[in-house]
Structure 1
């Protein structure tokens, strides 16, 4: 039985591909109605600029319309435990930066999170390059004041978004063409706009078309403020 519902519109600003929502951002919209760690499954490309229904049914939150369920999330019983690699130094980030794809090479150059054709604050502009000597993707990110929500803190939706794309680039080269299927996330503390963060993604292994990776947002003391574990599904070969 549905206990709660409202209407949600994923604005074109928050796109990943040109015609569908960025997966991490959409996960954040679903996770708003879940307390604590959450696991969000994305079931279909999320349409933009149309009314969708967000509903709470028991412990499950769904984003849907009358024809289709686009995503659903549930609370996770245990805290998300990740073996976080040694955090990147500023030198590591600088060495990784040249390995991020250019606007001409990027497969989604207008992605809200990682698109090199977006400018701040319209996009997050998190450019996670692959480190030449370590199996990580790393970047710096300072959330803009335009990302503030209640009480002047960074809106949690944007943490979920920031945890998405770096986990894809963490899959390394040659990188599979893949879609985000599931994102498990945990926000550990609030962040004020203007606080500089390091972003680090790393691979967890692949099996067939399934690719797993993780991501952490780290503060100036290299303590995580948010982290995630992602499942990516690569496209079937023609």
Structure 2
């Protein structure tokens, strides 16, 4: 079963069509980069995937559950890290995570086991009592990732997660997320407008002017549309391009 299936999805803000009909799927354990210039429709797609916006046309299935007809089971399969941090800066790492566990209905014992597991996985165990305000950007992102994974979702969405991070932190975050895919079987959809965040073996979705203009393994897309990812991206996002 695919972790994510998007079928004939489109969306409009009044008369302006922000997403043209698109369909794609994401298998289990895969890292997929959603790449596009600013204004391409990435944020609208994330808002639909997370149900911040109601579906207008088409369907989204997460872990086999439809966001349209079975939203609660679908959302239980989903973990999200938004571009803007939503952590409470004045609480500790552990307090932020325990609050999230309580929202998901975990008992104290169940929550403690999940908390310890995620702190270990994110290399944050020794910092659990530190205030989030005192962490650097890279460690704050790790706390948000830990929070998103506490309820053991099948799909992790990261919306421009490297914004504001220095180059070394960006690189470390990308390596860490890909390791989660390979070792834990988690599927990841990572949105970005930065070409250097895409690896040749990643799955790749390129959006432009609300259209899905290319999809497939990144190196295959690059070869088909220009030889390098940079040339392919330039060609596919040229003004007026149509799939």
Same fold, TM-score > 0.5, yes or no:
no
- Higher helix fraction (1 or 2): 2
Larger Rg: 2
- Higher strand fraction (1 or 2): 1
Report which structure shows greater RCO (CA 8 Å, sep ≥6): 2
Normalised to the residue count of structure 1, the TM-score between the two structures is 0.26
